[in-house]
Structure 1
Amino acid sequence: MTALDDAIDQLRRHRGISRVGDPEIVGGGDGGWLVEIDIPVELPSRARAAGVSATGVKSVETCTLAFNRWPLRAPKPYLRSDFPRDLPHINPHREGSPVPPCVFEGSLDELLHRLGLDAVIDQIIDWLGKAAGGTLIDLSQGWEPTRRDSCPSTVEFSAERLIAATPADGAVLTTAASYVTVGDGMYCRVQPELTPQAHVPFTQELRGKPERQFGAGLFPAFIARAAAIDDQFPVIGKYQPDTVVDLTSLLDLAGALGIDRTALDTALSDYYRASVFGLVQNYKSWQKGLLALVVLVVKRPARLVGSEGRDVEVLPYVIRYDIDPTSAFKFTSSVHAAFHSHAVSPELLARTSGLPQAVTQAKAVLIGCGSLGSKIGMHLARAGIGQQTFVDNEVMSPHNFARHALLEDERTLVPYKAEQMRVALERLSHLDAKAYDLDAVDLFRNDQKFAEVVPADAALIIETTASLQVLIAASVSAVLTASQVRLARAALFGQGRCAVLILEAEGRKARVDDITAFLFELCRWLPALRAGMAGTSSDPRKVFVGDNCRSLTTPMADSLISRSASMVAMQTQQWISDGKPSSGQLCVGVSDPSNIGSSWKVFEAGETTVLDIPDDGGWQIRVLAHVAHAIDEDARRWGRLETGGALVGRVSYEARTITIAGMVAAPPDSVRSEAAFILGTQGLAQTLTEAHAASVGHLMFVGTWHSHPMGGNHSGIDKNTLRKIATDGRGLPAVSLVWTPQGLICAVDRW
């Protein structure tokens, strides 16, 4: 039994079919068959006696199924040639030919292979029932655009720009378009400026191999709509059958849509004569025919389905003139409907990405346009977030192309990475992108440069340099502190196994250096994070890419960086689109070395307690929120007894900042009393060494803390203890932190 026999048996078992005809072979050896099926249609009660609905659908409709390349392709349904054609969801066809309904929003082939032949038939039955009841479309849901499901040509332009450029007085707008022929159709692009031109000369150049030649060149686009009356365009609320096949039927449709048929006919006739009898090219060389594009613009009674807020439809058609080689005055014309493709624009990118249009107005500053930064920038740009400012003073080097988002392009003469990113975004239609050849450290230190580069209403600054110098400059930046724009920092660790994204809290209540210290504190308690941060070795491996020791990089596959960049971009995109939390955020993506998957976790960083200490020349002590909370809990738990422990953190001499990121519990030989707390020594050195190692070498012992339940400043004993710790620290500053019911107080000493 053949595959077609199986299909016919299945049709005969379908309860919604009353008759299945014998297959009729068509197309010679092409393997095609036509099979008629009768489908009883549920008519509205008031139409059952007459046997036909008000919309012209009969109680039993015969549908012809065209099987071609079965079972790989689904059968195409066709209804009788006199079936009502002024209904929505009907595909373009020749007048007098069988009517092809559009019964499924998507590919029938995919429906067939997903749910089977019965599902295809169910769609046809459902379509006929809705056609009989006049419910194929509900205007409250929008106007169904004219079907363009199987068009040989594609036309690219911005519908919004084209509509705005079309004359309101009914005149035909002539503008230029470029094209390449593709099989029986073409792909063409209307110039985005839509500049009116009195005459656009037709050109055609044959390209490609002899066996697969295609035509390419320029031709005109004729754009027409009905004239406005009292500043209002006429509304066409009736579905017109798309039966355009030649010039006559095209002009007939234009007239039915209220468009000046004579004006359009005159424009096309003038174009034909100017092209054939002009001196630009010999028409006998046009092997692909003389071509033109016509776009009819129509106002509908409701917004178009799939087009946000737009109630104007655009209908593109491609005209081909085949000129008689014996006489330029003789020709035949064929016209077919073309598929409209929106020109790339920020709005299209956002819509395609499922983001609100508001993101196209969001501004972002990307500092660092290397492998990670370039990929983040391009991800955001392709999501419609194109008002980006790029900052990078490095030039592209050949080895950069192993992992950079951009490819080498001879058209980009400027070598700086920032400028190349700006050019790339411009090609994605983001015309407001900017580039600065500027050192990030200078940016954070210079008020004037910061004001020039960073828009006051920017949604985010994203720093991706992986430079510790930049991290420090950003941490202590006074201009950044005064700004309302928040800073995020993205970096990769452990040869790319760990992706980290940090977002500062509002008002810098948790700074980027605070949250970086928090990251390494978490490594002490999360083994998977620690392993990811450490990678395969304690030091990044180096690879030389030039003839000098300055040319080195960390070996890392492009796909690995892309994985991390996509997670970072998704998170920043969410912050830009949906809003940023007020608290600081630490986002970490850790890959499992045994597979290619990666997790993504978000930790909240609370407000940092800041203590400015004049001791030892002046230090700023920054106590992370979780440390301050743990100290408070422990002090209150012991009540009137003084308690305490050791502190681990990070010392920055450049910023004269000591960040307290974690604690080590008091050893068991510690002594707690109402008069004093004596920190024990049993196992303390070993515990501090383990804390240092578990934090991937980032955190170290920075001092101690203890409580004063009755309040009061550092006692003489406290100061002597601090001096002893500072002496043992061999020049490192030491912290003595005291908890009181009124808050934390601190002292710093160094020997």
Structure 2
Amino acid sequence: MELIDWGEIVPAIPNEPGQARLREILQACMAHPDFDVVELRRIDGSPDYFAVIVDAGDGAVVPGNLVGIRRRERLALTYRSGAEMPPEVRALRRDFPDTLHQNGVESGQPRSLCLYEPSWTTVERSWTPQAHLRQLLRWLEKTADGTLHEGDQALEQLFFSTGEQVVVPAELGRPGGGKTGPLRVTCTVMAGNRGTMIVERLDGTSPTHPGLDLLQITLAPISHLPIQGPPHTLAELEARLQAMGTSLFPSMLEVMRTHGKGGITLAPSEPPRRVLLLASIPRVHEGQVQRIDVRGFILEIDLARLGMALGVLQLQGNKAYSFQILSPDTTPLLPTEHRWREYKLYPVDVRFSPDRALAQAISGVSATEAEFRGVLAGTGALGSVMAELWSREGWGQWDLVDPDTLEPHNPIRHVGVFRDVGQAKAELVRARIDALLDTPGPQGAAIVARANAVQCAEVEAALLRAQLLVDATTTIDVPRDLSEREGPRIASAFLTPSGLAAVLLLEDDARAIRVSSLEAQYYRALLQQPWGRHHLDSVQPLRVGGGCRDRSFVLSDELIHLHAAQLARRIRRGVAEPGAQIAVWSLDDATGEVTCESMLPAPTRSVQCGAWQVRWDAALEAQLEAARRAAFPTETGGVLVGVIDHKLRTIHLVDGWLAPADSQADESGFTRGKLNVLEAVQECRRLTRDMVGYVGEWHSHPPGLANTPSMMDVELLATLTLQLSADGVPAVMAIAGENGLGVTLGQVLTFAPDLAP
């Protein structure tokens, strides 16, 4: 067999520290029955390196295989410390076949076998010379029988990496991804010696790269091929493409002729202008286009001169135009000139910009679940981080609603920076998240208003087109107001004042249990469960301005990000389920442990009492019924606490307490005692930060009696109503009877006197 004479023979591998690994490979070959050491060679390089030349084969290669791998192959084994993949195997047989899983090499050099898929930083942790030889034999066997490349494995690249790269819109690499429209090179970003060119969609604001013109073409499809070494001229590129079954032509001529219809200005010699050639090549696997490979090349010539060298442009003044002797839609199939063949070029790596589809794939987000319109109310510390997280995942298209501007202290725990101070939070967060991915146009509106300002046309329009509203305002007015109206499903998320806990209230998809009812049920769990003892505690607020309201909680940005990530993920996963949710996550700051308390939301009950609507839930009703039955045959009762909203004229019953120890009860009546009641009401207000307070009384009726109030009950309600009227609030009487919970409201009505003479 004809061999490539690679390097020069040497008697030994130098006894130097840098050659220790290669000497180990030599020893492993000498000890292995399937490797015969032929000689040692020094290979020219920077610096020179050495190779162990062997004949290798373990008999596993099928004789006469179609690939062309022989049972014994002459190979060169090298090890170069500092290389991207230090151990390398070269095939010295001159007619060694083109196969999959080869590294790119220069023309005329021995083919390089690609033995490892992971990077060397991973491989070296388990690499040994003996394992290396075993992997080499496996490569020969599996390549020969065609099983090295699995059927569902991705198609390989056409040319190996050169280090320089260009980033193009992701649609270019997606079969059926649609047209991107006109593109242009906008800038080059340098990091050390590495340059990254950015190609963007053409719009009125796109800058133009001062030294590069873009030429974008599409070639005929190809299938699997080994990775190739880089071409150095346009002629070499065309020859390699033809060997793959495709060609630059006529696509390059057609595109060049289109460019030339309006004239292309001839570039001056200094500074030189070059062409970035982007060639889209459909890759076919089992008859289907699996992906679009986009290959990039820098041509050392300007666009006008390239067109003239191809024979499709002619110079008129200082511009090159398409030949007028051809009809506008006529393009030659091949170049009519030959000067183009010598133009130098070099490949650049093409990477695709991160768009929503890639973000969803990398984040494990279902594309079907991610395509919805949402409103994010509140783009402060918590809301801005959640907006950024969801945007990085490509989840939802969000209208951002917030009335506030970024205050000087806000950047400490906000995605905005000091230079953003004074800007509307909704607008600066909108600009930030729109810039995260390469997605044309804004992905939603920025509305500087309160989310419950439904008289604002922009807010109303956003709510009408939304399927989900996330409330991150840390207010009570926005979720309560929007809970009263028809509209999108609501998720309310907030952190406690200490920042050590986060809360999620999520409506069911039918909105049968509204967020205002979930708020009341959350308060009941807080009052009844041990985790609620210090749940809403806080340290003394810090003054951040001269106004009486210019105070801020002492709360680190670490806690914002910790809980924002938890809430963002729980909301994303929660809305995929139909049911309502109440969940609280609490951080043990000493250990870092986060515990979750979940409460099963109960259906809402309500009754309209004049101008007021009283609401409670099935779980509270069951709780009072259980207390009623436990007291049989006597009556029982206790204090009712709840949430009163005077603007909405709603009363949410939160909890009904058991009878105090000094209460009096028999089969015909119940008189609530006073022992520890005042202290319990005060503690209730403390635990809920004055959200829940005394709203009235409840008592039970014995077996067989309904929940309608007796005359004695009416007299008691009248007394209670007069007492509470001093604070301007109505009084609630709830009766647990044979037919469920009955609710009666007492209110003192005043009438303005007629002052007319």
TM-score (norm 1): 0.79
1:388 and 2:398 correspond: yes
Question: Residue 356 of structure 1: CA displacement?
Answer: 2.0
CA distance in 2 between partners of 1:16 and 1:524 (Å):
75
Report the secondary structure of 2:521's partner residue: helix
Structure 2: distance between partners of 1:710 and 1:116 = 85
C-alpha spacing 1:125/1:663, structure 2 compared with 1 (3 Å)? farther
Q: Does 1:704 align with 2:697?
A: yes
Q: What is the deviation of 1:384? A: 0.7
- 1:149 shift after superposition: 6.2
Cα–Cα, structure 1 residues 353 and 193, in superposed 2: closer, same or farther, change >3 Å?
farther
The one-letter amino acid paired with 1:524 is: L
Question: Residue 500 of structure 1 aligns to a residue in which SS?
Answer: strand
The separation in 1 between residues aligned to 2:127 and 2:633, in whole angstroms, is 73
Q: Which of 113, 134, 141 is 2:146 aligned to?
A: 134
1:370 to 368, 374, 380: 380
Deviation track 1:53-109 (CA, whole Å, cap 9, x = no partner) reads: 321222244554442336996524444464755433333332332323333333132
2:225 to 236, 239, 242: 239
Equivalent position SS for 1:533: coil
Rounded to whole Å, the distance in 1 between the matches of 2:160 and 2:550 is 54
Residues 88 and 113, structure 2, Cα contact 8 Å, conserved in 1: no
Q: How far apart, in 1, do the equivalents of 2:593 and 2:265 lie?
A: 63
Taking a change above 3 Å as real, the CA distance of residues 116 and 649 of structure 1, as seen in their structure-2 partners, is: farther
> Take 1:261 and 1:167, find their aligned partners in 2: how far apart are those partners?
22
1:40 counterpart = 2:57: yes
Counterpart position of 1:465: 473
Quote the offset at 1:194 in angstroms. Answer: 11
- Residues 12 and 496 from structure 1, CA distance in 2 versus in 1: closer, same or farther, beyond 3 angstroms? same
8 A contact 1:88–1:239 mirrored in 2 = yes
Deviation at 1:461, TM superposition (A): 0.4
* Change in 2 beyond 3 A, CA 1:695/1:176: closer
1:559 & 1:571 partners in 2: Cα distance?
Answer: 19
Q: Deviations over 1:517-551 (max 9, x none)?
A: 3333333344445434213x3xx503324x55554
**Residue of structure 2 equivalent to 1:501:** 504
Decide whether the 8 Å contact of 1:645 with 1:705 is kept in 2: yes
Deviation at 1:504, TM superposition (A): 1.9
Deviation string 1:646-665 (CA, Å, 9 cap, x unpaired) is 33222222222222222322
Shift in Å, 1:223: 1.7
Displacement after TM superposition at 1:368 (Å): 1.4
Query: Are 2:424 and 1:416 aligned?
Result: yes
Q: Which residue of 2 aligns with 1:298?
A: 282
Q: Which residue is 1:230 aligned to?
A: none
Q: State the one-letter code of the partner of 1:718.
A: D
Pairing partner for 1:59 from 54, 57, 71: 71
2:240 is the counterpart of 1:253: yes
Q: 1:738 to 1:126 in 2, by over 3 A?
A: farther
- Do 2:90 and 2:110's aligned partners in 1 also have CA atoms closer than 8 Å? yes
The residue aligned with 1:433 is 444
**Shift of residue 447, structure 1, vs aligned partner:** 9.0
- Asked if the contact 1:91–1:149 (Cα under 8 Å) also holds between the matched residues in 2, the reply is yes
**1:563-602, Cα deviation, whole Å (9 max, x unpaired):** 22111211222235xx13322x123222222245544444
Q: Matched residue of 1:236: which SS?
A: coil
Task: Give the counterpart of 1:747 among 717, 724, 744.
Answer: 744
Does structure 2 conserve the Cα–Cα contact (< 8 Å) formed by 1:175 and 1:221?
no
Q: Check 1:694–1:186 CA distance in 2 against 1; reply closer, same or farther (3 A cut).
A: closer
Residue 345 and residue 658 in structure 1: after superposition, are their counterparts in 2 closer, same or farther (change >3 A)?
same
- The counterpart of 1:486, out of the listed 479, 486, 489, is 489
Task: Name the residue aligned to 2:608.
Answer: 612
**Distance of 2:56 and 2:419 partners within structure 1:** 59
Distance 2:396 2:419 in 1: 20
Residues in 1 aligned to 2:172 and 2:256: alpha-carbon distance in whole angstroms: 26
Residues 612-645 of structure 1: CA deviation (Å, up to 9, x unaligned) = 223xxx3222213432221233334455543333
- Return the offset for 1:376: 1.0
Equivalent AA in structure 1 for residue 164 of structure 2: S
| 2:462 is equivalent to residue 453 of structure 1 | yes
CA distance in 2, matches of 1:356, 1:86: 39
Q: Aligned AA for 2:565?
A: S
2:534 to 531, 548, 552: 531
Let me know the Cα RMSD of the aligned residues: 4.2
Q: 1:166-315 maps to which residues of 2 (within 5 A)?
A: 176-178=184-186, 180=188, 186-193=195-202, 203-204=210-211, 218-226=212-220, 236-239=222-225, 241-247=227-233, 248-263=235-250, 279-283=266-270, 285-286=271-272, 290-302=274-286, 311-315=290-294
Q: Matched residues in 2 for 1:518 and 1:402: separation?
A: 33
CA contact (8 A) 2:159 2:227 kept: no
**Mapped partners of 2:639, 2:98: distance in 1:** 83
Change (3 A) 1:435 1:12: same
Q: Distance in 2 between matches of 1:24 and 1:529?
A: 76
Aligned to 1:714: 709
SS state of the match for residue 109, structure 1? helix
Seen in structure 2, the aligned counterparts of structure 1 residues 191 and 61 have a Cα distance that, compared at 3 Å, is: same
Cα 1:261–1:601 shift into 2, 3 Å: same
Identical amino acids, percent of aligned pairs? 21
* 1:593 maps to which of 589, 592, 609: 589
Q: Can you list the C-alpha shifts for 1:426-475, whole angstroms capped at 9, x where unaligned?
A: 323443311222222312xx49655412244x331011111233243224
3-state secondary structure, aligned to 2:113: coil
Q: Mean alpha-carbon deviation: is it higher for 673-682 or for 385-394? A: 673-682
Q: Identify the residue that residue 319 of structure 1 maps to in structure 2.
A: 298
* CA distance in 1: counterparts of 2:26 and 2:742, whole angstroms: 85
